[in-house]
Structure formats: structure tokens, C-alpha cells
Structure 1
Amino acid sequence: MSPTPSRRSARHRRTTLALATAVAAGALLTTGLTTGAATAQDSSAVPAARAATPLALSPATRTALIRQADAATERTADEIGLGAREELVVRDVVKDADGSLHTRYERTYAGLPVLGGDLVVHESPAGKTEGVTKAVKARIAVADLTPEISAAGAESRALKRAKALGGTRPDAAKAPRKVIWAADGRPTLAYETVVGGFQSDGTPNELHVITDAATGEKLYEYQGIETGTGKGLYNGTVTLGTYLSGSAYQLYDRSRGGHKTYNKARSTSGSAGTLFTDADDTWGTGTASSSSTDQTAAVDAAYGAQATWDYYKNTFGRNGIKNDGKAAYSRVHYGNAYVNAFWSDSCFCMTYGDGEGNTKPLTSLDVAAHEMTHGVTSNTAGLNYSGESGGLNEATSDIFGAAVEFSAGNPSDPGDYLIGEKIDINGDGTPLRHMDKPSKDGASADYWSASLGSLDVHYSSGPANHFFYLLSEGSGAKTVNGVSYNSPTYNGSTVTGIGRAKAAAIWYKALTTYMTSTTNYKGARTATLNAASALYGATSTEYKTVAAAWAAVNVN
């Protein structure tokens, strides 16, 4: 509910004091560093390595924390110095082991959503606001909220853009809505149009086009469907969560939020599909067939979902993709010879094609974990799927795709720092991506450069993947689980890794606490340093290695 005019005026008067407080905080507010991290490390009750670790919250506890934050949005807006026309909308809350809270907000201006207005407020265990991480530092203010072009005009421009990108059957899946576009640091009245239909390869389209409401100029675009490529991977004999309903077993995992696996039977439209059932609870044959009812792809999809759920819960206490105890669902046999897999926020589901000849389903474990991690990213930092933030979005999925693979300990697919290593999509036995030296794929960048943001997001992910490998394992030649790596550095330095578990903990905390929708590579460096400081201390080996690993990929 919006404040009454009198409350708005009162908040406006109080903003002067709030801004003075913000100035006093100095770098605290501009870098996202919080004194709460220092407090956690000084705590005698909680060891430094655990103090900033996120707690596993029950759905009820998380809901209560969100409601508590929601009731205090006006006071919080005052404390962090927002203007009288700005309001906060709670998106999520993370609670650390020492009691610190990190509340993620969206922002509105004059009732309009502010794209790029997201921020995270950091509170000490005592409830004191100690820092803010903002997507943009610019003051949100727009002089004229009357558009010069119509919503229909914005829609027409968006549809033309979708066609220019090779889209088929484009339609306005969501009618244009007025927004404030602020992600580039220049708050502008705009329209956001979401275009449906299909992309050129048959993937559903959710193209978001941001159009200047005064000039009709395209300000930004990104794809809401987050894709990866692969041709399927058999996981061997695995145990699945199923449910006996009447005389038939369902591929329905009630122990992991109710995950279900559906058969699209070559369809690309309509409902989720038909829930897989079986008479004797013995699923699949171990080999894929061209049948649209083949269970093997469903087994791999269900296994990938449960391995990903278990990793996030057992490692970080995260209770599902949204951290609310509810599972997404999976769909297999999508389309005819569709060579892709994708995550969609709109259906909150994972979808797999059957690959070339409908005999090579894209249901490998690393693809499954990669794609479902897109859901985690969407529900935490919300990294825009374009430019450098898009590359970081993709890298996050690669990082946790590898982490899930290591964690699963499946003898048919031992963990490694390769993405899609067994699918041979290139026809020569090479994987899709190499985290130790991304340029081995012929397209990804090993190091940051000013032109990085112009690359496809699957290739601009390279430096972040490289950073994670160096942080985990270090530079130079080595062998891990029988795979040989030889990772170089931009500056010729030697990096000694801190181990994969600590590297993943740092990236996860950065993603959930210090990154925002507009985070670029420089911002990712700051976020991971903040995370390392909170978890291990600002003088720790872990903190110093984070800095060294970023320097080794030319991010300083």
C-alpha cells in the first residue's frame, strides 16, 4: 500500500537526516562493505569461518522475516536516504549464523517499477542498518512521467526487434508496462515489453525490450529464457524420489519440495505435459531411444533435479530454488530434435530437448545443475542476462554446475572443471567449456577486456569461470579426478588455490548478499572480496587469494 501524502511529506523531511547518515558512512554505502562482517568476525560465540554463513531457514521462518521487513519498508527507505517518491518492495531475506540480516529489495518511483533500482540492506545482529549494496548509485528522479510515444508504439518496436533477431510467431506475451529504466545510471521513463513466440532455434521467446518512452529508442534488451547446450548424459543406476499413487508410481519427489518430471511428447506448447508413471518403480533402460515416451531422459532429468536440490540444501542450507521449500518441475522430450535445454522463470521449470535425431537428450547432470542455477540467480542477484552481468549469470551456472557434479560423486560422471565433457557436441571429443582455460573452446575469453560485454553471454562468462578455477585449484599444471589442467594467468603470477568448497561458499555468498542486477566484473570482484571478508576475515588467506585470482584474469 502506498503511503498517504502526509506520510510522504514526513518522509521527505526526514530524508535530510538519512542522507547525512549516508554521507557519514562514506565508502560503506558505495562499496557494499558492512561493519556487520567485522562484528561477526569479532564474535566469541560464533567462529569467524561460520559467522557469516547463511542459515538454513524453514519456509515459515523465511516468510516471517519477509513480512517483518515488509512492515518496515518506509522506515528502511528513510534510513538509507531514498526520496519521497521512492518505495521499497521486499524480495528476499538472508540471515547469517551470527544473526545479521541481508534484505533484498526492488524499488518503485511514483508507483512505477525501477529496473536497476534493486538493492540489499545489511543489518547487524542488533538490527542496526550498517550498509547498502545498490545496483546503481544514481539518484532516482524523473522530471516528466508522461510518455511521448504510446504503449502500442513501444509494442510495435519490440515486435520488430524480435523479428530482426530471427524470432518466429512473435507476440506481446506481456503488454508494455511503464517503468523507470535506471540500470545504466540515467533514470529514464520507459516501456518494458516482453515478446513471446519462438527464437530462431525453436526455444521459447521471452525477449524483454526496454524502449525510451520519449524517443522510442531501444535502451536495452535481454532474453528471459536462459539456455545451455548439450546432447545428454547417462547417469548410470541412480536412486530416485518417486510416489505410489494407486497402483502406479509417479516420478514425483515429495521429499524435495514436490519435484515432478513431465513428458512433453515432442510438443512445444500447452501445459506442462503428462506426468511420468511406471508400474514397478524401475525406470528407464540406460540408453536413449527415439520414442517420445522413453523414460531414460526422465530419469536423468529427475536425478539432476534431486542432485541440485541436495547440493544447495546440504551445502548452503538453501531450501529449493526460491529458498521457500517448493520445487520447480522438469519437462523432457520438448520439441522435435530440439538441441537445447532451458530454464524459464515464467513456468518455474526446466525443459530438455532430445537433441539430434531425438536420441541424444540434453539431460546431463552438469546441464541440469547449470540450468536450475539460473533459477537461483534469478531469485537472488537477478543478474541481467546481457553484457558483463549476463556473462556472470552464465558463469554462476557453470560454477555450480561443476560444484553439483563434484558433490554428487557419481562414478559414471566424476566431478571436473569441464562443462558438457561427455556429450561430444563438437564432434572431436572436446567439452563445451573449459574453466581452467576458457579460450580452449575457440570463443570464450580467458581474461577481462573492455570489449568483453559485447560477446555472447556464454563466452563472456570465461573470465569468471577462470577466476573460480584459479581460486579453487590455483594456476599451473595439475590433475584432478584424472583430468589434466594447465591454467595460465594474465599477469604471469602464481596462484595457490583455497579449495573448491571455500571458493563456492564465497561465490554463493557474493551472489546472494552482495551482487545485484547490474553487477559487472569489477562489481563481482568487490562482491567476492566482501564475501571473503565476511566469511574468513579481511586479512585472511582466502581474502588475499580472491584478490590474486581476479588480478590473474585482469580484473583489478
Structure 2
Amino acid sequence: MRSMSATSRKNTVRAAALVASAAMVVIGVQTGSATASAGKSTSEPLALSAGARTTLIKDAQGQASATAGTIGLGAKEKLVVRDVIKDADGTVHTRYERTYDGLPVLGGDLVVHQKKSGTKSVDKATEAKIAVPSTTPSVAPSTAKKAALGVAADQKTAKADAGKAPRKVIWAADGKPVLAWETTVTGVQKDGTPSRLRVITDATSGKKLYQEEQIHTGSGTSTYSGTVNLDTTKTSGGYALQDGVRGGHKTYDLNQGTDGTGNLFTNSTDTWGGGRQTAGVDAHYGAAVTWDFYKNVLGRTGIRNDGQAAYSRVHYGTGYVNAFWDDDCFCMTYGDGEGDSHPLTSLDVAAHEMSHGVTAATANLRYSGESGGLNEATSDIFGTAAEFYANNPADPGDYLIGEKIDINGDGSPLRYMDKPSKDGASKDYWSSSLGSVDVHYSSGPANHFFYLLSEGSGQKTVNGVTYNSPTYNNVKVTGIGRDKATKIWYKALTTYFTSTTNYKAARTATLKATADLYGSTSAEYKAVANAWTAINVK
């Protein structure tokens, strides 16, 4: 990579970007030709300072016991505040986790909405009554651990370790709540990605209830060029890839290691590029654009909305063809690709994968079944939005997922938002069997919904790319623009989605979000309803 002259704290560099994989999907959809709203809605979230947010959370926790009684929870149930969002009109949305007799209730999360007038409403991950006959397990934790290690073995997890004792929980995400053991097995996945496999075992029968890989990945093999700006920090010996503008984001060189942070990138001058720095420049740029997109478009300051940055690690492993977000380290990690010659550091990868962090910090959509498809679609949608927001002339925004990586070897994209089934695996429409489809393909209907809501049905050309989006039963949809579609999905995710939200519940949630933002009799509300009908969600 050829370096270019720099200005104080900022420098332009030649950046490689745009990578994706069958395990991830990302692209753009925001700004660009989006139709902007006439003004800020009173139901849009306020941009809270870290201190103000902390105060709201503390106040809500102080009222948690009274709130539990108000919404009708049982005597053994308690609420633990996870997040608070305050709208411009004074409405406060408080997201809670729940406990039962001191045990965490998985799938028991809920959101309480309180208007300025005091009126309350609730969205719950489950409507089931949280109660179990006993909190004394029949199955020993050692038995649950052994079973979890067996699941890891079936997944071909290398170096599997369940060193941490299983946690006793109430499993309420599926049907009647039961006493269960939650075991986390760490190790290495078949492709070299770290593994953190969560296994839920019935503490009475020993039956496996659920399993989930908590490290979400993305991969690719090619790059494209462009010029980008970086924010760096002056040090005593020169400069470092530390962003003083965006929560202190740092970019590290793992030097082919797989643990820790490695070394912070430094340079004697503020002119970056070439050699190992190239991957660091790309990762630093991708993180900055993702931060700016969330802050400037959606009013979110950082992945957790607390003003704190994640960090990036590049040059992970040897010949590692992947990139992943890890919520435990709160970091993005990039491999160098085939032959360590194609670092997977790109804007698309960063925005898609970091959006998994946003989902984990908000609705925490369960990564299986329909909620898993919605989880993947959320990263697709916001990754797409960030790409359009970047407005990079070297890679104009489009609704083609992974069009630069040529993973199929024929120049075709990895996925298509206008007609997902064109990739040969994704689904265009909802059906009763969608929950059994791999989450990367069950995301198709939600991606399709987003395209239809943004652009409408039928043929259209955007930034030189022609689309022709079909609909279920030939329902006609008129688009409302990417800007509004993005804001509606974000408000639904952060305000109304829960860990178990499925497609039907997502329809309800986005309609609520649209009513908040634009009114229940608005053209936007009708368009959202039509877009769901167009993918067979009624």
C-alpha cells in the first residue's frame, strides 16, 4: 500500500476493504439516495451522555422492585436493569433481565415502556409464568459439563475446555420454563476461529435444550482500494493508531498470535501504510466509519451506547480466512486470509460484525431459529447502512452482499437483498419451516423486507445497479427511503425486540416503532405493513 502525506492527527491512506463470507453478510443502506425525514421525531432516542445514561440505569434499578409488582411478576421474581433509552418526548424504555429465586431466567428479558404521563406497557420475551417445582437439580453439574463437551466434540471443536462450572439457570426461551444448567465450552472451531459454545441442559432430565456458538464470523478473499481518513494520537515517539475522537478505539497487531492484544500500532510519523500497517489502517478506518454511522445517523454513541470504544486486532493466526466479533473481549479480530496475503480488514466486515455487538447489547436476539435469522439480518441491514453512509466513491453503496469478494468465482454477489433466493440458498419469504433454516439464509426475508421498505417492489436502478424485487402474491410496495427504513429497524431492535423475537413479533415491533416515529396513520406505517405482507408475514 502506498502511503500519502498526512495532516495533524489525520492522514489519508490507501485502504483495502470489502470482504464478506457465507458465514456473514454485509452491505450498505443509508444516506445516499435515502429520503430524509422532515425533522427529528419526538420519538427518536435522545443522545445521552455516559453520565446521564448511568443515572437513568441507577434510578431504574432503584425502582425495579416496584416495577416488578406493577407489571405483575411473582414474589420470587426480580428485575435487573440492562439498558435505558429515553425518547425526545420523555418516554423511557427500560430493558430488564429477570431472575427467579435468585437464578437468571434465560429468555425472561422484557422491556418496560413508560410515557411521560406515567402510562406503562411491556414487551416480554415470554408470556409464560416463570415458576418451577424446585430449584434443586436432579442432574449433577458434572453430568451437564460432560454432555456439553460431547456437543463440542460433535462440532469438531479443538482444545475443548469446560473449565468454568456450569451455571444453574431457569430456561424460559422455549415453552414451559424449566430448571437447567448453562455450560460454556471454549476451544477452537474447525476453521481456526475461537469457539465459545453455550449449551443448555435440562437439570431434571439431562436433555439438551439448546446450543449456540457465541463467536460470530465473516470471511472473504479480495480487497478494493480507496482513500480514507484516520484519527490517530500523538505519542512521545511519534503516533499511534488510537482514536481520541471515538471513545479511544485502538488497533493492535497480533503478529499471528491468537491471544491477548499484541502490540498497538505505532509509527514515527503520521503517515501510515505499507507492510503490516495496511491491515491496521483498514481496521482502524472501518471502526471509525461504523462509530460515525451509529452516532450521526442513529444517535448511538458506541456499540454499547456508553461512549466506550471496542478495539481491533489484526494479523490473527496463520492463514486464517475469517474475521469475527467477540462480545467477551468487546473487540473485532481479523485474519490475513489465504496464504496470509489477503487481510480480511474491511468496512463491510467491521460494520456487519460490530452490529452483532449492538444486537447483543440491546435485544440480544437468540442465535438460532427465526430470532437467529433476524440477528443476522440486523447485521446485514446496518452493515449495508454503514456502507451507504461511508459514501466511498471506490465502492458505491448497493443492495448486493459481498459483491467484491467473488466468492463464487464468477463475479456474482454472495447475497441479494432485492431477491435473496438468487444466491441459491436464502429464502425470499416467510414460511412455517423458516425456523429450521440456517440463520444466514433465514435472514433472507428480513433483508428482503428492508429492501422493499427502502426502495419498493419492481424494477429500479440505484447507483448504477439494477434491481427487480418480487413480492409474495404480487403485493405492490412503495419504498420510503433507506434513511427511514434504517431508523425504523433500529428503533424496533433497541426498543421492542427481545431475545426471542420471531418474524411475526418483528412485524409488530416495527409497526410500533413506525407509529412512534411517524404516526399510526402515516404513509410510512402503511408501507411497513405492506412490506411485511410482501414477504408473507401478516
Match of 2:62 in 1: 71
Is it true that 1:124 corresponds to 2:106 in the alignment? no
Could you tell me which amino acid in structure 1 is paired with residue 89 of structure 2?
A: D
Residue 522 (structure 1) shift: 0.7
Correspondence 1:482 to 2:472: no
Q: Match for residue 356 of structure 1?
A: 338
**Long gaps (5+) in structure 2:** 1-37
* Counterpart in the other structure of 2:210: 220
| Contact preservation (8 Å) 1:234, 1:364 | no
Q: Is 1:415 matched with 2:397?
A: yes
State the shift of 1:254 in Å: 1.1
Name the structure where strand makes up a greater proportion of residues. Answer: 2
Alpha-carbon distance, 1:453 to partner: 1.3
Deviations 1:159-194 (A, max 9, x none): 110110111111115421000000013100000011
Residue 44 of structure 2 corresponds to which residue in structure 1?
A: 53
Q: Give the 3-state SS of the residue equivalent to 1:51 in structure 2.
A: coil
- 1:134 aligned onto 2:116: no
Task: State the match for 2:427 in structure 1.
Answer: 445
Please give the residue correspondences for 1:68-467 in structure 2 after superposition, counting only pairs within 5 Å: 68-126=59-117, 128-172=118-162, 174-268=164-258, 270-285=259-274, 294-467=276-449
Task: Quote how far apart the aligned CAs of 1:295 are.
Answer: 1.3
**Aligned runs of 1:488-503 on 2, under 5 Å?**
488-503=470-485
Distance in 1 between residues matched to 2:68 and 2:221, nearest whole Å:
48
Whether the 8 Å contact between 1:138 and 1:186 is mirrored in structure 2 is yes
| Larger relative contact order (Cα-Cα within 8 Å, sequence gap ≥ 6) | 2
What 5-or-longer segments of structure 1 have no aligned partner?
1-46, 286-292
Change (3 A) 1:186 1:48: farther
Please name the residue that 1:32 is paired with.
none
Question: 1:121, 1:129 within 8 Å by CA — same for their partners in 2?
Answer: no
- Is the partner of 1:206 in helix, strand or coil? strand
Higher mean C-alpha deviation, range 322-331 or range 445-454 = 445-454
**Shift in alpha-carbon separation, 1:235–1:380, aligned structure 2, 3 A:** farther
1:184–1:48 distance in 2 versus 1, CA, 3 Å: farther
SS in structure 2 at match of 1:271: coil
Quick one: distance in 2 between partners of 1:429 and 1:174?
A: 46
Contact map agreement 1:231 1:363 (CA 8 A) in 2: no
> CA offsets per residue over residues 19-63 of structure 1, 9 Å max, x none?
xxxxxxxxxxxxxxxxxxxxxxxxxxxx99611101100000000
Letter in 2 for 1:103: T
Q: Give per-residue Cα distances to partners, 1:429-475, cap 9 Å, x unaligned.
A: 12221111111111111111111111211111100000000000011
Structure 1 residues 461-512: Cα deviation after superposition (integer angstroms, max 9, x where no partner)? 1000000000000111111111111111112112110000000000000000
* Secondary structure in 2 matching 1:255: coil
TM-score normalized by the length of structure 1: 0.89
Q: Which amino acid aligns with 1:207?
A: L
Paired letter, 2:533: A
Q: Give the match for residue 20 of structure 2.
A: none
Q: Which residue of 2 aligns with 1:28?
A: none
Work out the percentage of aligned pairs sharing the same amino acid: 67
Q: CA deviation at 1:230?
A: 2.2
Kindly provide the amino acid, as one letter, of the partner of residue 433 in structure 1: R
* CA deviation after TM superposition for structure 1 residue 228, in Å: 2.0
- Cα distance in structure 2, aligned partners of 1:464 and 1:524: 9
**Structure with greater helix percent:** 1
Root-mean-square deviation (CA), in Å? 1.2
Q: Secondary structure at the match of 1:169?
A: strand
> Contact 1:49–1:536 at 8 Å: present in 2 too?
no
- Which amino acid counterpart does residue 208 of structure 2 have in structure 1? K
Q: What is aligned with 1:528? A: 510
User: Partners of 2:409 and 2:380 in 1: how far apart?
Assistant: 21
Query: Residue 66 of structure 2 aligns to a residue in which SS?
Result: helix
Distance in 2 between the 1:476 and 1:349 partners? 40
AA in 2 matched with 1:372: M
**Pairs aligned (count):** 501
Corresponding residue for 2:3? none
Change beyond 3 A, Cα 1:57–1:232: farther
What CA distance in whole angstroms lies between the structure 2 residues aligned with 1:199 and 1:453? Answer: 24
Where 2:156 maps in the other structure, the secondary structure is coil
Q: What's the secondary structure of 1:57's corresponding residue?
A: coil
The one-letter code of the counterpart of 2:279 is A
**CA distance in 1 between partners of 2:280 and 2:86 (Å):** 36
Determine the C-alpha separation between the residues in 1 that align with 2:360 and 2:248.
20
Query: Contact (CA 8 Å) 1:447, 1:554: kept in 2 or not?
Result: yes
Q: Deviations over 1:270-321 (max 9, x none)?
A: 2111111111122224xxxxxxx61111111111100000011011211100
Partner SS, residue 333 of structure 2: strand
Letter aligned with residue 474 of structure 1: G
1:546 is aligned to 528
Q: 1:283 to 1:439 in 2, by over 3 A?
A: same
- Letter matched to residue 455 of structure 2: E
- 3-state secondary structure, aligned to 2:466: strand
